[in-house]
Amino acid sequence: MVESFYYDYVVIGAGSAGSIVASKLAAYDSGMNILLIEAGASPDNTQMWTPSDWFEVLQKCPEIEWGYQSVPQPNLNNRVINLAQAKVLGGCALHNAMVYVRGSISDFDAWGKVVPGWSWNDVLPHFQKVEQTMKVLLGEADEFINDLFAAAKQYGLPDNPNYNTSESQYGYALFQFNVTNSSSSNLIRETTYSTFQPERYQNVTVLSQAFVTRIIFEGAKAIGVEYVKDGQQQLAYIRNEIILSAGAIASSKILMLSGIGDENELAKFGISVVANVLEVGQNLYDDLFVSAGFSIPQNKDVPFYSYGLAPAVIFGSTENSSSVIDIESSVGVGTLKGFPGPERSFWLWPNIMHLKSRGTVTLRSSNPNDAPVIDPAYLTAPGDIQMCKTALQLGIDIGNQLGLSQWREKQIAPEPGVDLESYIRETADTTHHYCGTCRMGTDEDSVVDTELRVRGTSGLRVIDSSVFPLSITANTAAATMMIADKGTDMIIKSLI
């Protein structure tokens, strides 16, 4: 027998966005009844909470993973790219590198031009509100970091005291992390689920290991969700709204399974159309990263960082311009747990941002258990490979500066003289910054409007990284949290 329940709101996905949405709604009105539904379980592995183990967790904890993969990428030597996406209470904050980057003022001012109400001055208060709960820890420099910064300065970059609050991100800076000091003075990872704690509200029901198969409609009005729990199909109906916060891959998949998407695509799988919204699953954006590695001589002690990544970041430009920031180079050493390279090594990992290539998320079948077909279409746009080469060269050049000479035995990747384009096609990889598949806009082709409501429907919003209208110069976590805070305010405002 199919059981059914009634709630004021159903939030799908207890990750970086959904945990904030549910908590804020619950705090606003204790009489409101909210269901927070998550396909994953509670994280029971203590290693997941240890920041220095993040890279190993990414590889060795398949129980918190959807296991998504790309189709073979012709421009990356036909490699299939593993697209990590967490399936767990807390979402991707449980396996990411915990770095906290808002994005640039110019990023959000560009948003504001295409989506009024989302410019820098509009979003800043929401970043600040999130930061009152999610504590942001500034990394500490050591001898290696100081020498790295000397090398970045020799390369021609300025010191940036705080990339989140400075007028520009340009330059070298200490990284900021979503980690806190525990009572034992060890660092511990934060997720929005662990810090906003939706389960502490009496009016929130958290349902884990419950897999949403589709949203139910009456005409174009969302009235509930269908999900599977303990092998049983169940239903949850709503009085107000459904908020879809399943991430840039799953949110578009759930919309399509529910009849929202390109009617021609849905027809292939016999899915009845609720709303013909052509761009659902289109505009998939992701950053790539490239690697410049150097061996460390025997006479130096290789540093170990409790943050995971080294607490340093370099923001640069493929156009050599302080006003066009499109490189965010993180830094690591071979002592990073789970790192496959030599222990006695240091690495610059430039993330190339604002690439022009756009990919797709499409259905494989009408069976919710089938993973979607994901094609990030890396390096398909003219100019993207050149941006990657320029970014890699920045990493190579900084790594070879005099400032790092006591740490550098030799350059080991790419080996000197190697063709950089071939090396990039062989080694470039995802930065897990997926966004844009449910693009926000004022135009009819966009999937959600500026209030995050799904076009052609009522009672349904998308609040997660899939709504990004444009890419940003940042990891996606901070902006996703900001969207959750701002989006929930929009829901609350609609009640007043």
- The CATH number covering residue 4 comes to 3.50.50.60
For 408-434, write each residue's pLDDT tens digit.
Answer: 999 999 999 999 999 999 999 999 999
| Residues recorded for the chain | 496
In a domain, 291, yes or no: no
- The C-alpha angle with vertex 218 and arms to 213 and 221, in degrees rounded to 5, equals 90
Output the pLDDT for position 46: 86
Confidence of residue 496 (pLDDT cuts 50, 70, 90): confident
The bridge status of strand 176-177 relative to strand 179-181 is unpaired
Please check whether residue 19 is in contact with residue 487, taking contact to mean a CB–CB distance below 8 angstroms: no
In a domain, 38, yes or no: yes
> What are 410's strand-pairing partners?
295
Output the pLDDT for position 4: 74
Rounded distance between C-alpha atoms, residue 44 and residue 249, angstroms: 25
Please give the tally of structural domains in the chain. Answer: 1
Confidence of residue 383 (pLDDT cuts 50, 70, 90): very high
Confidence of residue 3 (pLDDT cuts 50, 70, 90): low
Place of tokens 């009005």: 221
Output the pLDDT for position 2: 67
What is the average pLDDT across 26-52? 95
Output the pLDDT for position 183: 67
What is the average pLDDT across 260-269? 98
Rounded distance between C-alpha atoms, residue 330 and residue 308, angstroms: 11
In a domain, 26, yes or no: yes
In a domain, 119, yes or no: yes
The whole domain housing 279 covers 1-69+89-136+192-285+430-496
In a domain, 468, yes or no: yes
Rounded distance between C-alpha atoms, residue 208 and residue 195, angstroms: 17
In a domain, 5, yes or no: yes
In a domain, 121, yes or no: yes
DSSP summary character for residue 272: P
In a domain, 372, yes or no: no
Q: What is the DSSP string of 53-81?
A: GHHHHHHH-GGGB---BBPPBGGGTTBPP
